[in-house]
Structure 1
Amino acid sequence: MHSETRSYRTGDREVVLDLTADCADVVSGRGEGILQLFVPHATAGIAILETGAGSDDDLLAALGDLLPADDRWRHRHGSPGHGRSHVMPAIVPPHATVPVLEGRLALGTWQSICLVDVNVDNDVREVRFSFLAG
């Protein structure tokens, strides 16, 4: 098993951050197995989706529709609507598993692995990458 943690600056806005290149780097030359990603934060998630063609913005818009940044949330510390950030990982989970074949991610043509962060109060996130050889 190989495991490492990397930090990402997400800033003060909602973001879908493409991690695919970093994932490919972690598994490069490691043979067959699976890559497990985990975000050890209560307000961030991992999604596999197409990026660059608007789907990443569509995801943020959909989360905004499902989880509005208003005062309805019981969890109230932080910026207005912060409670939505604590509900978001139930929709976009804090983990993903990707097959690795011959040291390469076995993703579909348009799939990317992304960190999803709608919490504007925390600007640094950690992602744990664990490669399990098959």
Structure 2
Amino acid sequence: MPHHATTLAFDTRGPGLTEITREVADWLATTGIETGLLTAMCRHTSASLLINENAARAVQHDLIAWLGRVAPEGPHYLHDDEGPDDMPAHLKAALTGVSHSIPVSEGRMMLGTWQGLFLAEHRARPHRREVALHLVGEP
């Protein structure tokens, strides 16, 4: 069974969600795999991956606002090596997760109608983030 792997890089603008569905789908199309399983993993501890609604931007705003309330910045963390947003970013990544397994059928990710794959930036400033992709399947 063929395996394919790559790493895609994305520039973030600070806290928020960057939809990466199109870029992942474009890579998937180059593999020739029709049926299989795609694993996507964010290679960072202060950013994460989410599958969520990609139609209403209010959903993205509300998710980021909720994460800010759940893991707020402040002096109450021991770990602040890279600033006051450091530990809250690690907590947000732990809450949302860094990987997803997505079934592939007919050469496409089997996401629902309103689902998209998002890279979540949890740090206060822009970063260059990498997402590792691994695909196993049959042509």
TM > 0.5 fold call: yes
Partner of 1:6: 8
The 3 A distance-change label for structure 1 pair 70 and 52 is farther
Q: Which residue of structure 2 lines up, in the alignment, with residue 15 of structure 1?
A: 16
- TM-score, normalization: structure 2? 0.89
1:62-77 equivalences under 5 Å are 62-77=66-81
Q: Deviations over 1:67-105 (max 9, x none)?
A: 002222111122323211111222111101111101011
Consecutive unaligned residues of structure 2, counting only runs of 5 or more, are: none
Q: C-alpha separation between the residues in 2 aligned to 1:81 and 1:39? A: 19
Q: Is the 8 A contact 1:72 1:81 kept in 2?
A: no
How many residues align structurally?
133
Contact 2:93 2:122 in 1 (8 A): no
Matched, 1:24 2:25: yes
1:50 paired to 2:53: yes
In the alignment, is residue 33 of structure 1 matched against residue 36 of structure 2?
A: yes
Q: TM-score, normalised by structure 1?
A: 0.92
Amino acid in structure 1 at the alignment position of 2:28: V
- In 2, the alpha carbon distance for the partners of 1:65 and 1:93 equals 18
**1:96 has 2:97 as partner:** no
CA shift at 1:51, angstroms?
A: 2.5
Give structure 1 stretches of 5+ with no counterpart: none
Please provide the CA RMSD for this pair.
1.4
C-alpha deviation, 1:119, in angstroms: 1.2
- Give the % identical residues: 29
**1:121 CA displacement:** 4.7
Superposed structure 1 runs of 4+ greater than 3 Å apart? none
Could you tell me which residue of structure 1 aligns to residue 110 of structure 2? 106
Partner SS state of residue 96, structure 2: coil
- Bigger helix share: 2
Q: Distance in 2 between matches of 1:125 and 1:69?
A: 21
In structure 2, distance between residues paired with 1:81 and 1:104: 36
Q: Is the 8 A contact 1:31 1:103 kept in 2?
A: yes
